[in-house]
Amino acid sequence: MAIHTFKAESILKEGMAVESTSRDFTIRADEPKNIGGKNTGMSPVEMLLCALGSCECIAARLFAVSQGIDLKGFRVSVEGDINPEGFLKGQEVTRPGFQGIRLKISVEANAPKDRIDEFVAFIQSRCPVAETIMNGVTIEVTQNVIS
């Protein structure tokens, strides 16, 4: 199967608000008021947690039948810990990214616990967002200076 390229564009708006588009969809990011934003949207790190939970849910739906799971419900609660000093003062203080992420997965299905455990492990092995977070990815940056 050929590699599929996904595309998105983000544009800084007023204050810390950012409007991001991909395909025909738009989302708004912002920061909470206590750190200078206007709280008009989730922060980018909250969006990352949502992307992880969403990917897990979609993978569960996509693979349930092939894995022999009669899936009735699937919920992922995600928490992540960041030390803001890494963002504000740099990596010499601490890393700026998540230092840990925890998933709490609730599965409602007609299957024994050992099959549910196998299914959840399978989902972990197939979720592209989880794999990217766990193993990292090369980011190539180019810039266009507009005067």
Task: Report the SS3 class of residue 127.
Answer: coil
In sequence order, the 6+-apart residues with CB closer than 8 A to the CB of 61 are 71, 74
In this prediction, residue 90 carries a pLDDT of 74
Tens digit of pLDDT for each residue in 103-117?
Answer: 999 999 999 999 999
Domain extents in the chain? 1-41, 43-135
In this prediction, residue 54 carries a pLDDT of 98
Structure-token match 């919920």, residue found: 75
pTM: 0.92
CATH for 43-135 is 3.30.300.20
Mean pLDDT of 114-121: 96
DSSP 49-111: HHHHHHHHHHHHHHHTTTTT--EEEEEEEEEEE--HHHHHH-TTTS-SS-SEEEEEEEEEESS
In this prediction, residue 70 carries a pLDDT of 96
Tens digit of pLDDT for each residue in 45-101?
Answer: 999 999 999 999 999 999 999 999 999 999 999 999 998 887 777 777 788 889 999
Mean pLDDT of 120-146: 94
Provide the CB-side half-sphere exposure for 121 (13 A, CA): 6
In this prediction, residue 84 carries a pLDDT of 82
Structure-token match 């940056």, residue found: 141
CB 107 within 8 A of CB 120: yes
Q: What's the distance, CA 96 to chain centroid?
A: 16
